[in-house]
Amino acid sequence: MERTAELRLALAKEALRQAEMRLGDQAVALAALETRATAIVGWSLAGFVAAGAALLRLETLPLLAWISPGALAGFSAALCTAALPLLPGGWGVRGHEPSEIQAEWAASEADILEWCADGYGQSISDNAERLAKSSKLVRRAIAYMIAAPILGVSLALAAWVAGLV
């Protein structure tokens, strides 16, 4: 089946519209991940400061000497891991450079629209890769944050059972 010029143009317009919608949705998804990562950074920092401050109270509560290092390790890991998705990185956006659009090679409107849609397709792939990596890092940071107090209490319990406290 041979494509007519009208069908080719209609398909190119729809491909471009779909790509723009996908890029918009990816931008919303990245913003949501960055919001979660920022919250984890904030809470991990608060936990880190609290665990560090507990070290100043060792003379009154020696058990804190065992709780704090485990909690500090967990909150440090969460803090560092959650900060990674917040670092600037490559992100494909909608649009092309005007000089790229003013190409002499284009024989029709469909040629230009297909070229734009293909460029957006590359941005969509790059963005999907960054979203997958960022999602994995945020999930890992949540796990570290959950593990921080568990690790601290486990160390303290082990020290207590061993008679070190």
pLDDT digits (tens, 9 = 90+) for 90-148: 887 777 777 777 666 677 888 888 888 988 999 999 999 999 999 999 999 999 999 99
Q: Return the amino acid letter for 142.
A: I
Note the pTM of the prediction, 2 decimals. 0.83
Average pLDDT, the chain: 89
pLDDT digit string, tens, across residues 148-163: 999 999 999 999 999 8
Please state, in angstroms and rounded to a whole number, the distance separating the CA atoms of residues 14 and 22: 12
Of 56, 62, 41, 52, nearest to 155 (Cα)? 62
Residue 17's pLDDT is 94
Look up tokens 């969460």; give the residue: 78
Phi-psi region of 118 (alpha: psi -120 to 50; beta: other; left: phi over 0): alpha
CA proximity to 113, closest of 1, 7, 2: 7
Is the model's pLDDT at 25 over the cut of 90? yes
CA angle centred on 117, ends 112 and 119, rounded to 5°: 95
* Whether 138 contacts 41, CB under 8 Å: no
